[in-house]
Amino acid sequence: MECHLGSDILERAHPEVRCPHPSFYRPERMLDGLAALAHGLRVLVEALLPELRTAGGCVINIVDIHAERPMPGHAVYNISKAGLAMLTRTLAAELGPAVRVNGVAPGAILWPESGSDDAARQDILDRTALGRVGEASDIASAVAYLSLDAPYVTGQILAVDGGRSLNM
């Protein structure tokens, strides 16, 4: 897990929780993964809440486009990201007006080091409106926008996916 805190911005990237196939589901793995994501965020926000309130800060969660459109074979990951999206919206309702809470949902930004071949990658790009993979700077720009340039935005999940979610 990575956590970045400025004087008034909390951005948290979550570890991946994936099960390659339904036959690999183990209840303890699912519960551990979901607890790490949801409970970990809640504890972190609660610990930093006084500083966030004082600064009029914001929380930006890195969600995933698969929070709304499931990726086959990755149920635990999909469920955890869907839960994170709901927790983002819930915290926005609970912490406003002092603290804004939003999320960024990346699409194809960085390819996995293993597990996808050229044909699979091309299939994803063929279904992406912009026809290309995104850059890490696209995510950073979205986080900066929500953090610094969107004072009237809270409870939103911004898809940064080059239009991929249009064709899922």
Active-site amino acid positions = 77
Residues 168, 149: Cα–Cα separation, whole Å:
29
For the sheet with 9-13, list strands across it: 2-5, 9-13, 58-62, 100-106, 157-160
Strand partners for 2: 13
Residues 135, 162: Cα–Cα separation, whole Å:
10
Total residue length of the chain: 168
- 94 Rama sector, left if φ>0, alpha if ψ -120 to 50, beta otherwise: alpha
Please give the distance of CA 32 from its chain centroid, rounded to a whole number. Answer: 18
**Complete DSSP assignment for 31-44:** HHHHHHHHHHHHHH
